[in-house]
Amino acid sequence: MSRTGKSLSLWHATARNHRDRPALEGRLDVDLVVVGGGFAGFSTALHAAEKGISVAVLEAEIIAWGATGRNAGFVVPNFAKMDPTAIIAHLGPERGDRLIEFAAGSADLVFDLIKRHAIQCDALQNGWIQPAHSAAALERVKSRAGQWAARGRPAVTLDSSAVQELTGVRGYVGGWMDRSGGVLDPVAYARGLADTAEKAGARIFEHSRVTAIDREPGGWTVRTSTGSLRAAKVLVATNAYGAALNPVLSRTYFPLRIFQIATAPLPRAIRSRLLPGGQGVGDTRRNLLTFRFDGENRLISGGMHVVGVGADNRVPRAIWRRLATYLDLPDLPPLQYAWSGMAAVEPDFLPRLVDLGPGLIAGFACNGRGIAMTTAMGKVLADWAGGADAVDLPLPFAPPSPIPFHGLMRYAPNMLLPWSILRDRLDERA
Ligand SMILES: Cc1cc2nc3c(=O)[nH]c(=O)nc-3n(C[C@H](O)[C@H](O)[C@H](O)COP(=O)(O)OP(=O)(O)OC[C@H]3O[C@@H](n4cnc5c(N)ncnc54)[C@H](O)[C@@H]3O)c2cc1C
């Protein structure tokens, strides 16, 4: 297996639209500072700059260094756990409706931005498919598709033969598809957003780690080791990579380490019978099985670890074996790339804005659906930067709420994985 070597991921190794940015030097005044150069940061910067707001993005490493540059590239306009009726029950009709509408249009927003700004990122808006692995899961996805369709979304249920036709994989009992979802190259997309934000007037600084955000009369001073920015408003968009900057914030979510692999390109004979339409797939298993192709016909999948020791070698091989078995591919080409990244997952798996002080907000919209959701979050945060009250935005907004016993609880998703795998197997036999 060849590794990503110095690259952080397949996408960092292969995306072509790279351009360096300088580190922050000296002192600048802007309206809005964004801390973190991922989808959330660049979508906010782009939408804010388009409104004529002066904005600067500070990234500790390079553009898309975090989850943005290490994900699988599925563009998914729904929530990982809750469907619309559950969201209404959880948040109430008014706030629930606003959050549902926010998510419903999120994939369209991504693909519209890509088209409008001619971002070259292998984007394909051909649908996101969720096949059902059991009869009980099929009932859930039928209800899910119905709820989204009732809200005017292009959601369709699929019988087992339709799933087989679309995916090339046997054994699923049915599923559903949101036709507005799709796939893209996340690094090329993030770099494209950054370029576009810059053209609209945003300033972008790499290798500019924020070390402090200090309250001042009328705003904040954001400091790096080589400079500082003064602004009335600051967005912390560091997702699961911001623990050093704000330890309290880091106790409000579960930091999940997720592994990804890409095989060597598939020969035409095998490629043509799998995913002929090029959609993204994430099934209903608790130990989620995902797959898609990149622009070079590499098969991409992901997974998690139970025990961290030795995981860098062990887990990618296990994901590859699982793909070969579940997709019935005895001739699956070898692993070519393996990498991992950290995702922030909220206890209720919903996006949220965290109130850190007057004019200081942290935005979390990850929960495994970050491409569509963080892009959409950036658009509404630009409204906030332009003067809208944060409580009027479609995302829940509240002070930080640390998870009790976080030191221990943060390992729960990994420790529960064997139980999830067992339950998946029992479901399949039921
Ligand atoms: C392996 C993996 C697979 C995934 N697959 C998918 C998928 O297929 N589809 C999907 O929708 N979502 C997926 N996700 C989730 C998605 O990638 C994230 O939700 C999204 O990228 C989060 O973007 P972000 O901008 O909020 O944060 P990030 O992309 O994590 O960016 C945070 C940035 O903040 C920077 N930073 C941290 N501290 C500082 C500081 N002090 N100063 C300056 N900068 C700082 C970091 O360097 C980093 O670049 C996946 C996540 C992972 C990890």
Domains and CATH numbers, the chain: 10-408 (3.50.50.60)
* Residue 108 beta carbon below 6 angstroms from any ligand 1 atom: no
Alpha-carbon gap, residue 37 to 60, rounded angstroms: 8
Smallest Cα–Cα separation from 204: which of 212, 194, 193? 194
The pLDDT, as a whole number, for residue 7 is 74
Span from the CA of 298 to the centroid of ligand 1 (angstroms): 23
Ligand 1 mutation pick, 124, 208, 239, 354, max ligand atoms within 8 A of CB: 239
DSSP code at position 416:
T
* CB neighbour list of residue 35: distance below 8 Å, 6 or more residues apart: 41, 58, 210, 213, 222, 234, 235, 236, 237, 238, 242, 245
Give the number of the atom of ligand 1 that is nearest the alpha carbon of residue 38.
25
* Residue 202 beta carbon below 6 angstroms from any ligand 1 atom: no
* Residue 76 beta carbon below 6 angstroms from any ligand 1 atom: yes
The residue whose two tokens read 């609880």 is 409
What number of H helices and E strands is found in the chain? 15, 21
Question: How many angstroms separate the Cα of 264 from the Cα of each of 294, 296, 332, 339, 391?
Answer: 11, 9, 9, 14, 48
Q: What are phi and psi of 173, to 5 degrees?
A: -90, 0
Rg of the chain, C-alpha, whole Å: 21
Q: Whose CA is nearest to atom 9 of ligand 1?
A: 74
DSSP code at position 24:
P
* CB neighbour list of residue 285: distance below 8 Å, 6 or more residues apart: 133, 420, 424
Span from the CA of 157 to the centroid of ligand 1 (angstroms): 31
Sequence letter at residue 251: R
Alpha-carbon gap, residue 39 to 166, rounded angstroms: 29
Ligand 1 mutation pick, 180, 254, 374, max ligand atoms within 8 A of CB: 374
Sequence letter at residue 382: A
Q: Which residues of 400-427 are buried (b: 16+ CB within 10 A; e: fewer)?
A: eeebeeeeeebeebbeebeeeeeebeeb
Which stretches in the chain have pLDDT values below 70? 1-6
* Residue 210 beta carbon below 6 angstroms from any ligand 1 atom: yes
Give the number of the atom of ligand 1 that is nearest the alpha carbon of residue 211.
41
The pLDDT, as a whole number, for residue 265 is 97
The pLDDT, as a whole number, for residue 294 is 97
* Residue 241 beta carbon below 6 angstroms from any ligand 1 atom: yes
Structure tokens at 40: 């959330």
Sequence letter at residue 23: A
Structure tokens at 351: 């996006």
* Residue 82 beta carbon below 6 angstroms from any ligand 1 atom: no
